[in-house]
């Protein structure tokens, strides 16, 4: 696999994970 493509996929996954974690924190904050 192309190294640049691999890096792009990793960055995209990290970005999506960060968004998901942010949503989880928001839900927990509202529930508290």
How confident is the model at residue 32, as a pLDDT? 62
Tokens, residue 24: 């989880």
Hunting for tokens 């998901």 — which residue is that?
20
pLDDT tens for 1-32 read: 799 999 999 999 989 888 888 888 888 888 76
How confident is the model at residue 5, as a pLDDT? 96
How confident is the model at residue 28, as a pLDDT? 81
The span from the CA of 13 to the CA of 22, in Å, is 14
- For the chain, how many helices (H) and strands (E)? 1, 0
C-alpha distance from residue 17 to each of 2, 3, 13, 26, 30 (Å): 23, 21, 6, 14, 20
Domain boundaries, given as residue ranges, for the chain: 1-31
How confident is the model at residue 12, as a pLDDT? 94
């Amino acid at each position: 696999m192309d190294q640049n493509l691999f890096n792009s996929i990793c960055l995209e996954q990290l970005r999506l994970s960060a968004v998901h974690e942010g949503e989880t924190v928001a839900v927990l904050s509202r529930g508290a």
